[in-house]
Structure 1
Amino acid sequence: MSNRRTSTKGFVSRSTTICLIMTLVALLCIGQLASIQLLHGRSTAQAATASRTLPVTISAQRGKILDTNGSVLAQSVERYTIVADPQAAQSFKPTACTPDTKDYCQQIDGKPIDTTGAAAVARILAPTLGMDPMELGAKLSVPGRYAVLKKDVDPEVKRAIDKLGLGGIIYGELSNERLYSNGTMIGALLGGVDVQGKGVAGIEQMENAALTGKNGYKVYQQGNGGEEIPGTLAESKDAVNGSDVALTVDSDVDWYVKKVLAEGKQKYQADWALAVVQDVPTGQIVALDDTDQIEAGGDDAKLNVAKVVNQTFEPGSIGKVVSMAGMLQSGGSQLTDKFTVPDQINKNGQVFHDAENHAADHWTLAGILQQSSNVGMVMASGNYSSEQRYDFMTKFGFGQNSGMGLPGESSGTLASPQLWDGRTKDTVLFGQGYTVNALQLTNAVATIANKGVRQQQSIIKSVTDANGHVSTPREPQPTRVVDEQVASQMSDAMESAAAQYQAFSGVDGYRIAAKSGTAEVVGADGRLSSIVSDWSGIIPADNPRFVITVVMKNPHGSFGGLTSGPVFKQIGEFLMQKYEVPTSAPRKNAIPVTW
């Protein structure tokens, strides 16, 4: 009996202790609840709101690059990279669909999901992404908070994912895929963008500031499914898309130029070919391309400069046009000056040859250009000093870049006359001893076509911002290089030079003022073992509209009039038809070329 009373007393004692402990816990809970609700309620609510409030970036779209007619050459399209938070996926529990959760619940084919974690997320997501659930589950089962599931996803797919109620686990990062419309046409010139969408080469780099927009943002509270809670938008700023940049390039013309360059390269078995088409009155570049097959936006376009922009070469006999114009402008010569020209001459111990052997011929200065005589140029230059030679070459744009700001453009090489040796001071008269690029050479001939006024070349036609405001680049004022009379006389002499190749390079119905050139250049062996053949011409000569320059390296046929000239002919015919240029008036009173 005594033992029973002892046992009962122990039980009562333990029960009392447990009751006291439970009462104490209850009091603590009540106290904590009172503290949260009465003392810290506001701060706790603020913390909860803050945890649901997220800033979201609104990405701006990169502007388009257009041709002169508004055809799209490059544009950004909305694409998304679908990203997961693996840690969140692995702790995921599907939300059953009820009237209260219908906006963010999960089910498959109208049935509840019988699994949790990464496997459940994979089963929900796989059909929308078009991926295997097992593969997707493996990507969601890795450690960490960031895993890329799929790239370049269309907006429609991203919107479908947003409706799956997987906010906070699966989300899309806007990537703005850059698309280029014309493959290899001006591919290297257009360049490309990096993974962040920044221009890193070509026009994309040159106009990056204009093309790049400004991101916006909005701050709002998210619900359990990651959706925006209506009425919780706290702050926002609209994105401003980048400006559209229109080029002066006509994509129809450039397409044709690239086509005939490829055909010419094959026909004459040249290493490469390139061409420039310039509008004479404005200085705008209508086409510029080469035979390199570089796709815009690709790795090659990001790593290489367009050959038509970067390649330099000696102009050869086309350089005689600049030298002769300088002689006339300096007042020491006239195109009617008479010379008896042998096929070689020794001047101060330096021997100069013409390309072909001939007897001593009676040529005027205009005839020296027509016959492309190196000897005649040396003979005619007695009153044309080295300083004058250099001065006019620089006035015509040699030794300096085009001023268009094209990335990677070469300025060529033109040493000062103080550095010319006893031979170079005369070889520069006929286009040797210095180098140019095709843009420089084209603008030099265009200066003659434009009545002696050198225009600033341009390739950017206009920039249109997101609000539709159109601006045009400010260009330097045109510069007069030679008098209008000198330019007219030089054009006349160039017509006579072009007539030498009428059968190969002429355009029916149109007068042409042109000059061919052939020069030795350094080959792969480091010696003067390669040939550049070029042709630059004005069409129509009587009412100049375009200058076309064609350059080939190592063509079979060598002479520019027989290789680059026929390519000029094809381009000229296309331009005259496309732009419906009136045919030429008959030529009258040509300056004599012989005496």
Structure 2
Amino acid sequence: MPPRSDDPRRDATGSRRGSSRGSEPREPGLGGISDARAYTPRGRTVREGGGAEQRRTPRSNRSGDPFRPALQVLDGGRAGRAGTREPVTDGARSGRRSTAAGGRAGVVRTVSSRPVREPFDDDDEDAPPPRRRSQPRRPAAQPRRPVRKPRRPPRLGDPRRRLRLGTVLALALFASIGVRLVYLQTVDTPAYADGGLPNRLAVVELPAPRGAILDRGGEPLAHSVEARYVFADPTRVKDRFATARLLSPLLGVPVSDLAEKMRKRTLPGTDTPLQFVYLARGVEIGTAKKIMALDLAGINVHRDERREVPGGDLAANLIGFVSQDMNGLEGLEAKYDDVLRGQAGKRTYEVGLGDLAAPIPGGYSRTTQPQPGSSLKLTVDRDLQFMTQRILAKQTAKVKGSVGAAVIIEVPSGEVLAQASQPTYDAANPTKVGSPADRDDAATTFVVDPGSIHKAITYGAALQEGVITPDTTFPVANTIVRGGVTFRDTHPADGRTMSIPGMLAYSSNVGTIEIAEKLGKDRLFDYQKRFGLGQATGEGMPGEAAGRLLPPDQWSGSAYGSVPIGHSVDATPLQMAAAYATIANNGTYVQPHLVKETIGADGKRSPAAAPTTRSVLSPANAAALRQMMEAVTTVDGPDGPATGLAAAVPGYRVAGKTGTGLRYDGGKQQPGEVGSFIGMAPAESPRYVVAVFVWSPGGGGGAVAAPAFREMMGFTLRHYRVPPSLTNKSPKFEVFPR
């Protein structure tokens, strides 16, 4: 018989009583709530009505629970024997339950043919019991084995703490980077910025426009015009020799010179490569365009200026010339170079390296604007200068190998209206000249022994000191001996009595020496200095010679004869012209000068310093001397014409003096002689003084000096529209009064 079931609601076959389906045969382990509860988690249900007291009841007394049979796990539909555990075969369903009196219910599983038992823990409703291997049930009296709870895994770090730590580290990193950037941008900026700056800098000079040289009417004698300069960057030139061969025909510079300029090198005292070098200055704009059309690497052009002399040789010996760098080399260009040149500017900027040698936008850039030079306004009249040069060239051409000088001074201002030299040169092309001496200004560098033109100084001093008067006469011998030297007259008087105008007309050496002896050497020496001899005039020309006077304590016996007639005296044509201008200016010496005013770049005019003046003769004595000197250009008696008759200007009264002297070069007397004539007109009220000097190795200068004076003075008077002396004729002079 099948075992009796403990569940009163089930029969021996395991079916529940009162069920319509209880009579149907059932497959073991299926159907019914009990079967469903047998598969609830941990194989148990909620106890009903048990309470704490029931939980304290021994397991053997819990069979009275009406739901207990339903919690029993049936094995194949058969009730297990109390206190025993039946083995479950491999085919038994996992999860079947078996019970034992007073024992603990459990589930026996077969896993890999090994029985495993899951204990039930009535006291622990939440935690699942650990699985146990299937083994024989211990006796009921055996104490319960403690259930081990699974070990908790080690507690991991708090993610929020890790997040906070990472945030702090990131902020600290960015803060340190920010501080460093601020430090670099504020504290170390100059050091880092300047560290590599020299390697990126390009410097371009901005030339200052040079001031012009103008004549008294504002017409340019020399001025600057726009041009181009050609420069090279040696660091970018690919083949300097090939480049030089292309540029040489256009610039007129030898290939070797251009190639040397384009050679790579560094700035003196540094490791910085040279990136700028001039190849040519003052290049015409058309030529510069041809160079740019070649598109040569490292070659470029920039705005420049070129000195232009419109008149070519007009006043060339006065003006001088400049170098390609616009530096004055000779003449007024050299004397006033600091005024004319101005102050050059400079542009310094950052450029890219390599082939990108272009200004860096926003990079370092500094520009110093050039300051244009001032202009010089001269006292020279370009029209008068032109005619003076033309006349001098024509007259000197008559004497082979001659050198000529001419000066025209305005009375009473002392302004030099014309100053010519022969030979001359083209100031626009100064290298094409026969001799460097041709570039000299003869009026200030031509040192001569003035000869008889010095006699006007001797007679003027004698008048002023009362040694003679305009009416003085005395016998004049043909010769006179002083210091063993015999001095003769070219127009012998044969012991006849001569007047002072007659002595001037025939240039008597003997009569002049006798007057000088009465004057005395000390007073004569003093008047030489008053008339401006022995010192440079300060006209404005560079290299002006000072001349030389023989001090009285150095006079030899012959000096008493040579000094009064203009020998043993060194002077320049300009000094002698200034002495005669003193006579023309009523006895007042006025320093001759060339510069009238300076005109700044802003148009501001600054007059030149006032010339030095001093009184030498009284106006009456100066007028008397001028009248006596008119005999030189008017006397034409039975004893022959006066020495200066060829210098007479028709329609005007002219007072002057001829001279024949010697030339000295480097302190040595040169062969030949110097012929000269200095005069003033109109003699009654002189307006202009003209001095002409002609030296020739073979002589004959005197034959052309007087005619040259006549032409120059005549043009000057007509040019300035001076009325002729028609109603005021020259007096009649008696050379040998009875």
| TM-score clears 0.5 | yes
- Map 1:44-193; keep pairs closer than 5 Å: 50=197, 54=202, 56-90=204-238, 144=264, 152-154=282-284, 169-172=298-301, 176-193=305-322
Q: TM-score, normalised by structure 1?
A: 0.78
Structure 2 residue aligned with 1:355, among 483, 490, 495? 490
2:683 is aligned to 541
Within 2, Cα distance between the matches of 1:554 and 1:160?
50
Q: What is the SS of the residue equivalent to 1:379?
A: helix
2:416 is aligned to 285
2:533 is aligned to 398
Within 1, Cα distance between the matches of 2:667 and 2:383?
39
Partner letter of residue 693 of structure 2?
V
Partner letter of residue 585 of structure 2?
N
Partner letter of residue 695 of structure 2?
K
Say whether the 8 Å CA contact 1:63–1:76 is kept in structure 2: yes
| Offset, 1:508 | 1.3
Change in CA separation of 1:150 and 1:323 when aligned onto 2, cut-off 3 Å: closer
Partner letter of residue 460 of structure 1?
V
Q: What is the SS of the residue equivalent to 2:519?
A: coil
Structure with a larger share of its residues in helix:
1
Change in CA separation of 1:552 and 1:222 when aligned onto 2, cut-off 3 Å: same
Confirm or deny that 1:466 pairs with 2:614.
no
2:499 is aligned to 364
Q: What is the SS of the residue equivalent to 1:378?
A: helix
Say whether the 8 Å CA contact 1:533–1:555 is kept in structure 2: no
- Structure 1 regions of 5+ residues with no counterpart? 1-30, 91-116
1:107 is aligned to none
| Offset, 1:512 | 0.3
Say whether the 8 Å CA contact 1:462–1:473 is kept in structure 2: yes
Q: What is the SS of the residue equivalent to 1:532?
A: strand
1:507 is aligned to 649
**Cα deviation 1:232-278 (Å, max 9, x = unaligned):** 68543321101111211112212211211121112243522211111
Change in CA separation of 1:430 and 1:153 when aligned onto 2, cut-off 3 Å: closer
Structure 2 residue aligned with 1:386, among 505, 511, 521? 521
| Offset, 1:429 | 1.3
Change in CA separation of 1:202 and 1:524 when aligned onto 2, cut-off 3 Å: closer
Change in CA separation of 1:56 and 1:72 when aligned onto 2, cut-off 3 Å: same
Confirm or deny that 1:448 pairs with 2:577.
no
The structure that has the greater radius of gyration is: 2
Q: What is the SS of the residue equivalent to 1:79?
A: strand
1:435 is aligned to 570
Say whether the 8 Å CA contact 2:317–2:441 is kept in structure 1: yes
- Map 1:233-248; keep pairs closer than 5 Å: 235-248=366-379
1:568 is aligned to 709
Structure 2 residue aligned with 1:552, among 681, 684, 694? 694
2:719 is aligned to 578
Say whether the 8 Å CA contact 2:240–2:263 is kept in structure 1: no
Within 2, Cα distance between the matches of 1:253 and 1:349?
47
Partner letter of residue 678 of structure 2?
S
| Offset, 1:202 | 1.5
Confirm or deny that 1:316 pairs with 2:445.
no
| Offset, 1:593 | 3.9
Within 1, Cα distance between the matches of 2:340 and 2:200?
35
Confirm or deny that 1:422 pairs with 2:557.
yes
Percent identical pairs in the alignment equals 27
Within 2, Cα distance between the matches of 1:179 and 1:441?
33
2:331 is aligned to 202
Within 1, Cα distance between the matches of 2:342 and 2:499?
61
**Cα deviation 1:88-140 (Å, max 9, x = unaligned):** 354xxxxxxxxxxxxxxxxxxxxxxxxxx999x98xxx89x989xxx9xx979
1:94 is aligned to none
Partner letter of residue 337 of structure 2?
N
Q: What is the SS of the residue equivalent to 1:240?
A: coil
Say whether the 8 Å CA contact 2:630–2:730 is kept in structure 1: no
Q: What is the SS of the residue equivalent to 1:436?
A: coil
Partner letter of residue 564 of structure 1?
A
| Offset, 1:196 | 3.2
Say whether the 8 Å CA contact 1:344–1:354 is kept in structure 2: yes
Say whether the 8 Å CA contact 1:336–1:592 is kept in structure 2: no
Q: What is the SS of the residue equivalent to 1:267?
A: coil
- Structure 2 regions of 5+ residues with no counterpart? 1-172, 266-274, 635-641
Partner letter of residue 242 of structure 1?
G
Within 2, Cα distance between the matches of 1:256 and 1:556?
27
Within 2, Cα distance between the matches of 1:154 and 1:41?
50
| Offset, 1:77 | 3.0
Within 1, Cα distance between the matches of 2:700 and 2:707?
13
Say whether the 8 Å CA contact 1:538–1:544 is kept in structure 2: yes
Change in CA separation of 1:45 and 1:358 when aligned onto 2, cut-off 3 Å: closer
Say whether the 8 Å CA contact 2:373–2:601 is kept in structure 1: yes
Q: TM-score, normalised by structure 2?
A: 0.64
**Cα deviation 1:270-297 (Å, max 9, x = unaligned):** 5222111111111111111121233326
Within 2, Cα distance between the matches of 1:415 and 1:554?
26
| Offset, 1:54 | 4.9
| Offset, 1:55 | 5.2
Instruction: Provide the aligned length of Structure 1 versus Structure 2.
Output: 527
Partner letter of residue 673 of structure 2?
I
**Cα deviation 1:201-222 (Å, max 9, x = unaligned):** 2111110111121122345555
Partner letter of residue 69 of structure 1?
G
| Offset, 1:333 | 1.4
Change in CA separation of 1:38 and 1:403 when aligned onto 2, cut-off 3 Å: closer
Deviates more, 1:460-469 or 1:445-454: 460-469
Partner letter of residue 189 of structure 1?
L
Q: State the Cα RMSD in Å.
A: 4.0
